[in-house]
Amino acid sequence: MLDTLDRPLRDLRISVTDRCNLRCRYCMPKEVYGPRHAFLPRSELLSFEEIARLTRVLAAQGVSKLRLTGGEPLLRRELERLVAMLVGIDGIDDVALTTNGLLLAEKARSLADAGLSRVTVSLDALDDETLRSIGDASISGARVLAGIDAAAAAGLSPIKINMVVRRGFNESCVLAMAEHFRHRPQILRFIEYMDVGSTNGWRSEEVVPAKEILAAIAASWPLEPIAPMYEGEVATRYRYRDGSGEIGVIHSVSQPFCASCTRARLSADGKLFTCLFARRGHDLRALLRDGADDFEIAARTREIWTARRDRYSAERVARAQEIEQEVKIEMSYIGG
């Protein structure tokens, strides 16, 4: 099943909740997501059975990799039950999770026992002061690191650490993060600050380009490029020449990779999105709850994907003025 640019559908990112226990300024700024913000009521969330059914339909159309996201996915009760349901679906080879790590220490073992393959932890600094400034909430770096250790002990591997680098906020923490995770089995990935959604006040001058990040690290510890692990991998990989591990950079602003994007995203309330920077989704929950059979749902998802022509990041510069006027879906709703 190919879109208009001959890109197959292989990866499905599933948001299980729009709620989060942090208020990171680049994702869920407190000014917007304050005490009065109306999150989705439970009745509007897809049930685990509905998520599994949609996954079975999409697996028959080529999806083989799943990632559970949010909001913060570990806030969804009994998430282990969903993991167990998903890993049993024919055609699904990999079920992963992205989390801020605050609840990971208590959840890692049960998630691994349910069949979770691996985990990615968002960690934008090591020191509490910077973390609290970015997350706009009380957060302990030690608590996140304990979650990472628990995931490793549970056998979740590889563990990836995602650091969003934003100029004026945490670019000074790049070397400290690199030094901490050198000689460790976790893979640290640096992500350029992206203009996801419309509420985070994104400005291009706050983007720290991947080249700048790599140059800073290489000045202390020489690097060399290594081949991607699979076609369409979003991170460009490098290893330390002294053999002390690897890092990755995700450069969707300075070097867009739209041409190889094979991802669709399912929101917590059942809308299918064909791009992280989308303005609208396609309602699959209505089909499920109105009694559509699997053939009808498969036909609709095929119609959506084969019409796909998204290449937002590649068009960011050429369409800058037009894009500024667009209202995009927020990352906390669609998943990262």
Measured torsion, CA atoms of residues 168, 172, 173, 175, in degrees rounded to the nearest 10 = 150
Instruction: Give the model's pLDDT for residue 104.
Output: 98
Report CA Rg, the chain.
19
Average pLDDT over residues 201-221: 95
Please report whether residue 144 resides in a domain: yes
Q: Would residue 220 count as lying in a domain?
A: yes
Residue 24's closest CA among 123, 127, 126, 141? 123
The CATH number that applies at residue 50 is 3.20.20.70
Structural domain includes residue 3: no
pLDDT of 326 higher than 80? no
Average pLDDT (187-210) is 91
pLDDT tens-digit series, residues 217-251: 999 999 999 999 888 789 999 999 999 999 999 99
Q: How far apart are CA 263 and CA 256, in angstroms?
A: 14
Q: Token pair for residue 28?
A: 């869920």
- Domain tally for the chain? 1
pLDDT of residue 331: 83
Least confident of 34-38, 105-109, 168-172: 34-38
46: containing domain: 11-334
Does position 321 have pLDDT exceeding 80, yes or no? no
| DSSP annotation string for 27-38 | TS-TTTSSTT--
* pTM reported for the whole predicted model: 0.95
pLDDT number for residue 136: 86
| Neighbour tally for 37: CB within 10 Å | 11
First-to-last alpha carbon distance for the chain, in angstroms, is 23
In sequence order, which residues have a C-beta less than 8 Å from that of residue 295 and are 6 or more positions away? none
Q: How far apart are alpha carbons 1 and 94 in whole angstroms?
A: 20
Task: Show the tokens assigned to 88.
Answer: 């049993």
Question: Does residue 95 contact residue 82 with C-beta atoms inside 8 Å?
Answer: no
DSSP code of residue 276: T
Closest C-alpha to 336, from 103, 69, 16: 69
Comparison of pLDDT for 265 and 328, the residue scoring more: 265
pLDDT surpassing 90 at residue 320:
no
**Torsion angle, alpha carbons of 235, 96, 186, 133, to 10:** 80
Cα separation, 289 vs 286, whole angstroms: 5
Any domain includes 4: no
Tokens of 85: 């349901």
Q: Which two tokens mark 324?
A: 């500024």
In a domain, 200, yes or no: yes
**Is 6 inside any structural domain?**
no
Each residue of 138-167: pLDDT tens digit?
889 999 999 999 999 999 999 999 999 999
* pLDDT exceeds cutoff 80 at 177: yes
Burial class (CB in 10 A: 0-12, 13-18, 19+), 101: buried
Given this model, what pLDDT does residue 245 score? 96
Residue 298: inside a domain: yes
| CB 9 within 8 Å of CB 63 | yes
